[in-house]
Amino acid sequence: MLLAGGLLSACAAGRLTDTHQIDQALRQAELQPAAVAASAVQVVGPQGAMAPAPARRVIAQVAAEGEAGLLRHHLAVMGAQSRVRLYSHNRVRLLEDGPATFDAMFAAVERARSSVMVQSYIVDDAELAQRLARLLARKRAEGVEVALLRDAVGSFGTDPALFEALRQQGVPSCEFNPVNPLRRLGHWGLLHRDHRKIVVVDRETAFTGGINISAVYASGSWAGSSGRRPPAGRDPAQSGWRDTQVEIRGPAAVRLDALVRTTWQRQGCEAVLAPPQEPSREQPAEALGDDVVRVVASGPDEPGDNRIHATLLGAIAASRRSVHLTMAYFAPGDRIVEALCEAARRGVDVQLVLPSMSDFAPVLHAGRARYEQLLSAGVRIHELQHSVLHAKTFVVDGVLSSVGSSNMDWRSFTGNDEVNAFVLGRDFGAAMERMFERDVADSRPVTLASWRERPWPGRLAERAALMFERLW
């Protein structure tokens, strides 16, 4: 009974943007794009919020990469939906799969001088997490401020000895919304989970995306540019996960650091951390880049509509050339499905890379229940082979890209704390498009004709999963 009540409350916890609001934003952006952008967009640089003139120069610099009209169009649509804070002067690097991510992440932590903040849905007790724990303990001994925040459900199977050993070495560790309501009074919500994956070093370098601190990423995927295939008899679900992360160096890292510290405070975690900050200091010129980033955080406790859902839905509705989406868990509800179909019908190249296998079958079947509607509208669907797809990435018109923790499912939109990094500009968008093309090459195309011939057991599973879509 308690679980059932929790499920119902989770479904109602978050508010999702409706299509009427999106239509209003599109009309406003089309009528007065410059006015909307000027009034609703704030640019934050290394030394804090910028005055209007330098802010306009930042936007002009990104627009100069190419497709200026498309970039300004999407910026105006975002501004018509809500206030937009952009972080300028970043260097953003796309990281494919676990090995590239962990190599970059551990190297950054090794260089840490002042702080290391770690927030992850899963922290397991395999060698990868143990390596991180040893490194955090060493940094703490060097006088570096460190903290590890993990989700209680995501890390439920982890041996508590890992975190006890960290505590004994002076490394603060805290679990988000403990499963036991008596463990930390006032902080219990079985279905309110912390799904973010963030590592921030010195408030200068941050990592975020879909990759947890987990052994399933250690070997890299069996797809993509590696050309690797799983050995005979090897279960891809136990290794070979395909995922994506970004490394951000610059002012946007300060925002991600603030998210970790704010969550720590709200959870009533035992250790006292330095307070969150906004960018307020000069950085060496060589550390500054040209990438402009919007950090969008969401959660059931946030007021108003879910900001990630609103941004994704608005971007699809505003698309003019292409929507290329790679999504691990795809059970997005009617609004996003209808937006994808409408985009395809007006001539936009809409392509989805979705999983052929999953560690959670109900979401896989719920997504497949939408295939016929999508394919009939002209959406092209590709199912990734050989690897478990865990990436949550998105590039629209080649100028608006997203890498983050949020799936397109009801758990992400209504029950989880999530964070996505939206990167503006054609240069980063081109890197995203190349990655998307590699995933398409490692996928099997799903055609309308072949889909209509699928066996009846699959059809029944899809119908059953769709009935409970809002629970996944």
Residue 186 pLDDT: 84
pLDDT at 9 over 50: no
Task: List the catalytic residue out of 257, 291, 397, 442.
Answer: 397
Segment 314-328, tens digit of pLDDT: 999 999 999 999 999
Residue 224 pLDDT: 52
CATH of the structural domain 93-266, one choice from 3.30.70.560, 3.30.870.10, 3.40.50.1370, 3.40.50.150: 3.30.870.10
pLDDT at 2 over 90: no
**Side chain identity, residue 24:** Q
Task: List the catalytic residue out of 139, 192, 324, 392.
Answer: 392
Give the whole-number percent of the chain exceeding pLDDT 90: 80
pLDDT at 5 over 60: no
Cα separations in angstroms, 268 against 115, 152, 199, 394: 20, 14, 20, 34
pLDDT at 219 over 80: yes
CB contact set of 267 (below 8 Å; sequence gap of 6+): 149, 174, 176, 177, 184, 187
Q: Which of 67-71, 178-182, 220-224 has the lowest mean pLDDT?
A: 220-224
Residue 7 pLDDT: 38
Helix, strand, coil percent content, the chain, rounded in steps of 5: 45, 25, 30
* Residue 202 falls in the annotated catalytic set: yes
* Residue 382 falls in the annotated catalytic set: no
Across residues 415-419, what is the average pLDDT? 97
Residue 12 pLDDT: 40
Residue 156 pLDDT: 95
Q: What is the CATH number of domain 14-87+290-471?
A: 3.30.870.10
Residue 29 pLDDT: 85
Tokens of 363: 């979401």
Residue 227 pLDDT: 57
| Beta-ladder partners of 350 | 323
* Residue 197 falls in the annotated catalytic set: yes
Across residues 175-201, what is the average pLDDT? 92
* Residue 195 falls in the annotated catalytic set: yes
Segment 75-89, tens digit of pLDDT: 999 999 999 999 999
Task: List the catalytic residue out of 97, 124, 151, 202.
Answer: 202
What secondary structure letter does DSSP report for 276? P
Instruction: Please give the full DSSP string across 45-67, using - where no structure is assigned.
Output: ETTEEPPHHHHHHHHHHHHTTS-
Across residues 204-229, what is the average pLDDT? 83
Residue 239 pLDDT: 60
Task: List the catalytic residue out of 73, 139, 197, 365.
Answer: 197
| Beta-ladder partners of 420 | 296, 404
Of 427, 367, 422, the closest CA to residue 394 belongs to 422
> Which residues in the chain are classed under CATH 3.30.870.10?
14-87+290-471, 93-266
Tokens of 428: 């980063």
Q: What is the mean pLDDT of the chain?
A: 91
Task: List the catalytic residue out of 139, 195, 324, 365.
Answer: 195
